Amino acid sequence: MQALVLERKGELAIRDIDLPLDLGENDVRIRIHTVGVCGSDVHYYTHGAIGPYVLKAPMVLGHEAAGTVTAVGAGVTNLKVGDRVCMEPGVPNLSSRASKLGIYNVDPDVSFWATPPIHGVLTPETVHPAAFTYKLPESVSFAEGAMVEPFAIGMQAAARARISPGDVAIVIGCGPIGIMVALAALAGGCSRVFISDFSAPKLAIAAQYAGITPVNIGERRLADVIAAETEGWGADIVFEASGSPKAYAGIFDLVRPGGALVMVGLPVEPVTFDVAGAISKEVRVETVFRYANIFDRALQLIASGKVDLKPLITGTYDFKDSIAAFERAASGDPSDVKLQILMQG
């Protein structure tokens, strides 16, 4: 089968590769339609590793995917041939302690597409457990279906935040994940979301959405803006989505007494954390690792029209041009949010 293979750091190839397609009792076979290019895919391409995950053998990239069911295992009841679907790329051991608790995202034995040594799905066909395959509502396109995975991270952040209706939130960092968090926070009950970044083009993309207020921290201090907008009280929730250690300086000045900080961005190095600042306001801190039990509710929000992800798809490539898509993604144009690859012409 053809696939986009990361041969080694810096070297991509579209070529044949042997991938298992055995259909287990609880599996479905899926013809892939659309695959999004994620920052992590690009990072494996440019750096060959993310933290402890190191590329040691050729690996197929891609984990944001939608497609059509072409076969179902004997035990599958929730899906049928012809269903349009999107897929959750992480598959846990369902018998594990974490999975039994409903937090299968932190099961140490999760297999996750395009995380070494697990192959991704930039390839025409795959087999996946039906339990982690979600039917697209009629009104949701394949392109939107392939956006569910990155949006699910924003949704997990919104869920972990335990938003109370009307909360005021801040999102630090206006990259793709920051925007997803902002949209999920708004759809999830916040009245207003301030999003901060140094990049005017990135902020312009977020500012398209009603309810999101961009703050260019090259021009204004975020703490000043928040103090002015909340009469000195602070935001109910601060989402850190930049992954920059610098974001932690003075971060508790932004939070109201009894508010929350949600850590989404993954700094490469440990950060300097102001314990006294957190304690004096008795701040709750939540952390976000991928998602669990989110895909179905993400789809509901997209289908209902409360969340519109289409403006974030800033480029679409045919599979044969997928290396060009990766080159563009690697170039880091601030006007780009999400590039997608079509597996079927």
Dist. CA 47–CA 40, nearest whole Å: 10
Q: Which of 44, 45, 104, 317 binds its own copies (CB under 8 A)?
A: 104
CB of 268 to its own copies, least distance (A): 8
Integer CA distances (angstroms), 84 to 132, 186, 256, in order: 14, 27, 44
Separation CA 86–CA 39 (nearest Å): 19
Check residue 220 for interaction with its own copies (CB under 8 A): no
Could you say whether residue 167 binds its own copies (CB under 8 A)?
yes
- Does 19 bind its own copies (CB under 8 A)? Our answer is no
CB of 214 to its own copies, least distance (A): 15
Q: Which of 42, 288, 329, 343 binds its own copies (CB under 8 A)?
A: 288
Q: Which of 188, 206, 222, 225 binds its own copies (CB under 8 A)?
A: 188
Nearest Cα residue to 236 out of 194, 274, 205, 204 = 194
23 binds its own copies (CB under 8 A): no
- Residue type, position 238, single letter: V
Q: Is 280 in the site for its own copies (CB under 8 A)?
A: yes
| Among candidate residues 127, 124, 145, the one with its CA nearest the CA of residue 136 | 145
Please tell me the distance from the alpha carbon of residue 109 to that of residue 92, in angstroms, as a whole number: 6
Would you give the binding string for its own copies spanning residues 311-340, x where CB under 8 A is met? ------------------------------
Task: Output the smallest distance, CB 15 to its own copies, in A.
Answer: 33
**Alpha carbons within 13 A on the beta-carbon side of 162:** 8
Q: Does 74 bind its own copies (CB under 8 A)?
A: no
Residue span binding its own copies (CB under 8 A) among the ranges 16-24, 115-123, 282-290, 326-334: 282-290
SS3 state of residue 159: helix
**Interaction of residue 46 with its own copies, rule CB under 8 A:** no
Backbone conformation region of residue 95, classed left if phi is above 0, alpha if psi is from -120 to 50, else beta: alpha
Measured between its terminal Cα atoms, the distance across the chain in Å is 16
Scanning residues 128 to 157, which ones bind its own copies (CB under 8 A)?
Answer: 129-131, 155
Piece of the chain touching its own copies by CB under 8 A; list 59-67, 139-147, 158-166, 311-319: 158-166
